C-alpha cells in the first residue's frame, strides 16, 4: 500500500517496521463467575505473556519505551460509550490476526464486547520535545479522507499537509508523544490511526485548537477517544 500522504517534516518513513497495530475498543460485559472467572483471567494472562515473548508490544507506552512489559490500556469510560481503548503492536499482520483469535479463545469475549481493528505501521513514532515527564493521558484518533480531499487539487492537498505539519510540530513542542501512523483501511472503514501520550486532557484540548486553526479537519472525518492509562489487569479482575 502506498502512503497517503507520505513522510513530512514531522513524520518519517526512515524506520518503518513490519509492526502491526491491534486496536481494541471494549466495553466490559457483566458476567457471573460461571461465564468469566479466575480460569479465564489466568488464561488471558498466559496468552498475553506468550505474545510478549513473541515480540509484541502490549501498550502504547511500550512503543516509546520497549522495556515496559505490563499490558496497559486507556480508561475511557468517564467520557465515552466504551470502558477502555487499547493498542498493542504485533510483529506482523499475520501475528496480529492470530493473536486476537488466541485472546478470544482464552476468554476475552466473555469479559469484553470488543471492536477489533488491525493495521500495519506506516510512519515512525515521534517523541515530544522537552524534559522527561510522565504522560498518563492518551488520545486515540481514527480518521478517513473525506469528499473535500477527493475534490481538492494536488497542490491544495500538499498545502493542507504542510499546514497540518505546523500543528503537529506544536504538539511536539508541547512535549506530546505521537505514535506515527498505522493504516487500517485494508479491512476497516477508518483509514488511519494515531495515538498521543500527553500530560493532561487540558493539554490535548489546547492542542486541538491549533489543529482547528490550520484546518486539519478540512479533509478528514475523525473519531477521537481520550483516556487515562491503566493496567489491563484492572479490567480483567473478577471481583
Q: In this structure, what CATH number is given to the domain that contains residue 81?
A: 3.30.70
- Indicate whether 135 belongs to any domain: yes
pLDDT at 1 over 50: no
- Indicate whether 129 belongs to any domain: yes
pLDDT of amino acid 90: 97
pLDDT of amino acid 14: 41
Structure confidence by residue, pLDDT tens digits, 66-114: 999 999 999 999 999 999 999 999 999 999 999 999 999 999 999 999 9
* Contact between residue 148 and residue 216 where contact means Cβ atoms under 8 Å apart: no
pLDDT of amino acid 8: 55
The answer to whether the predicted template modeling score (pTM) of the entire model surpasses 0.75 is yes
* Contact between residue 90 and residue 53 where contact means Cβ atoms under 8 Å apart: no
Percentage of residues in the chain having pLDDT higher than 70: 92
Structure confidence by residue, pLDDT tens digits, 193-234: 999 999 999 999 999 888 888 777 788 889 999 999 999 999
- Indicate whether 147 belongs to any domain: yes
Structure confidence by residue, pLDDT tens digits, 38-54: 999 999 999 999 999 99
Mean pLDDT computed over 137-148: 92
Q: Of 47, 43, 71, which Cα lies nearest the Cα of 57?
A: 71
- Indicate whether 97 belongs to any domain: yes
The per-residue pLDDT of the chain, averaged, comes to 89
Q: For the chain, what is the domain count?
A: 1
2, 37, 112, 221 from 41: Cα distances, Å: 40, 6, 12, 37
Alpha-carbon distance of 147 to 154, in angstroms, equals 14
| 29 Cβ neighbours under 8 A, 6+ residues apart | 36, 110, 111, 112, 113
- Indicate whether 89 belongs to any domain: yes
* Contact between residue 12 and residue 178 where contact means Cβ atoms under 8 Å apart: no
Mean pLDDT computed over 152-175: 86
- Indicate whether 13 belongs to any domain: no
- Indicate whether 150 belongs to any domain: yes
pLDDT of amino acid 187: 83
- Indicate whether 11 belongs to any domain: no
Determine the structural domain holding residue 55 and report its residue range.
Answer: 20-236
pLDDT at 2 over 90: no
Q: With b meaning 16 or more CB within 10 Å and e meaning fewer, what string describes 193-206?
A: bbbbbbbebebbee
pLDDT of amino acid 3: 46
Alpha-carbon distance of 106 to 94, in angstroms, equals 19
Amino acid at each position: 500500500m502506498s502512503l497517503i500522504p507520505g513522510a513530512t517534516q514531522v513524520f518519517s518513513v526512515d524506520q518503518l517496521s513490519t509492526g502491526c497495530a491491534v486496536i481494541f475498543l471494549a466495553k466490559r460485559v457483566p458476567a457471573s463467575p460461571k461465564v468469566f472467572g479466575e480460569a479465564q483471567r489466568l488464561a488471558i494472562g498466559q496468552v498475553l505473556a506468550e505474545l510478549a515473548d513473541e515480540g509484541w508490544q502490549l501498550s502504547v507506552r511500550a512503543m516509546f519505551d520497549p522495556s515496559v512489559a505490563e499490558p496497559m490500556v486507556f480508561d475511557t469510560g468517564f467520557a465515552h460509550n466504551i470502558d477502555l481503548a487499547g493498542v498493542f503492536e504485533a510483529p506482523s499482520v499475520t501475528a496480529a490476526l492470530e493473536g486476537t483469535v488466541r485472546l478470544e479463545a482464552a476468554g476475552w469475549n466473555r469479559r469484553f464486547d470488543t471492536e477489533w481493528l488491525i493495521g500495519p505501521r506506516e510512519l515512525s513514532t515521534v517523541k515530544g520535545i522537552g524534559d522527561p515527564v510522565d504522560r498518563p493521558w492518551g488520545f486515540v484518533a481514527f480518521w478517513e479522507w473525506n469528499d473535500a480531499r477527493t475534490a481538492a487539487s494536488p497542490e491544495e492537498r500538499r498545502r493542507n499537509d504542510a499546514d497540518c505539519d505546523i500543528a503537529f510540530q506544536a504538539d511536539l513542542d508541547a512535549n506530546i508523544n505521537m505514535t506515527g501512523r498505522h493504516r487500517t483501511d485494508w479491512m476497516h472503514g477508518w483509514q488511519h490511526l494515531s495515538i498521543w501520550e500527553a500530560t493532561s486532557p487540558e493539554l490535548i484540548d489546547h492542542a486541538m485548537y491549533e489543529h482547528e486553526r490550520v484546518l486539519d479537519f478540512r479533509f478528514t472525518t475523525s473519531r477521537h477517544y481520550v483516556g487515562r492509562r491503566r493496567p489491563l489487569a484492572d479490567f480483567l479482575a473478577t471481583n
